[in-house]
């Protein structure tokens, strides 16, 4: 097995080392945080999402993690607007119909805000009249922005999305913007 890097990606950082599409752009990339030659992200985590990003120089491992046919499970901590009831959570557990097809069933649990969670910059917008709540959602496929689209499909938009686990690796012990070998 090749080199494995586990990175706690901050909000607003692209899951790539360069931003060649927009020369002169101020968008942040992985190169600001990781100076390890030859590693690439195994799967994506959009710039509006935070948390665990696995990088490797092993093409087979990268393919196994990122290709949905291998069904590598991923767990997310999801802050949603309002508080979904059991029937709405059951919709996620059964699979939700999105524009590109029905999702596979997800594991879904209500959780309290994860302990020792870092502050997001910029902060999530809070509304005095609308509560929010936290869910832990585990999926084993990787449609584009899937978790965000799933919570929106049941009427509870995602406010904050943090990937906690990919396969056997977790965020445990990795500070925001830091990495360690896996």
Alpha-carbon gap, residue 45 to 67, rounded angstroms: 14
- For the chain, what is the largest distance between any 2 Cα atoms, rounded to a whole number of angstroms? 51
Is the per-residue pLDDT at 144 higher than 90?
no
Prediction pTM value: 0.93
pLDDT band, very low/low/confident/very high, at 140 (cuts 50, 70, 90): very high
pLDDT of residue 71: 84
pLDDT tens sequence across 51-72? 999 999 999 988 888 887 888 9
Cβ neighbours of residue 132 closer than 8 Å, sequence gap 6 or more:
79, 80, 81, 82, 83, 124, 126, 159
Nearest to 100 by CA among 65, 68, 128, 61: 68
Is the per-residue pLDDT at 22 higher than 70?
no
| 26: its two tokens | 């101020």
pLDDT band, very low/low/confident/very high, at 80 (cuts 50, 70, 90): very high
pLDDT of residue 23: 62
Exposure of 145 in the CB half-sphere (CA atoms within 13 A):
14
Specify whether the CB–CB gap between 84 and 133 falls below 8 A. Answer: yes
**Mean pLDDT across the stretch 158-180?**
97
pLDDT tens sequence across 91-139? 999 999 999 999 999 999 999 999 889 999 888 877 777 789 999 999 9
pLDDT of residue 103: 95
Task: List the single range of 32-36, 141-145, 178-182 with lowest mean pLDDT.
Answer: 141-145
**DSSP-based three-state secondary structure for 137:** strand
| 72: its two tokens | 């590598």
Is the per-residue pLDDT at 164 higher than 90?
yes
As a whole-number percent, the residues of the chain with pLDDT over 90 amount to 74
**DSSP-based three-state secondary structure for 99:** coil
Catalytic residues: 46
């Amino acid at each position: 097995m090749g080199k494995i890097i586990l990175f706690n990606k901050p909000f607003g950082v692209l899951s790539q080392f360069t931003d060649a599409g927009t020369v002169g752009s101020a968008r942040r990339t992985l190169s600001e945080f990781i100076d390890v030659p030859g590693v690439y992200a195994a799967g994506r985590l959009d710039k509006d999402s935070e948390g665990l990003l696995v990088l490797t120089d092993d093409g087979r491992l990268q393919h196994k993690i990122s290709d949905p046919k291998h069904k590598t499970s991923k767990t997310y901590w999801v802050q949603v607007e309002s508080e979904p009831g059991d029937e709405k959570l059951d919709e996620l557990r059964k699979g939700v119909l999105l524009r590109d097809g029905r999702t596979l069933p997800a594991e879904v649990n209500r959780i309290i805000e994860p302990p020792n969670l870092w502050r997001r910059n910029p902060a999530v917008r809070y509304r005095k009249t609308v509560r929010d709540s936290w869910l832990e959602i585990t999926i084993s496929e990787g449609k584009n922005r899937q978790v965000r689209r799933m919570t929106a499909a049941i009427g509870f938009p995602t406010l904050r999305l943090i990937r906690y686990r990919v396969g056997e690796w977790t965020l445990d012990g990795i500070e925001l913007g830091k990495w360690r070998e896996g």
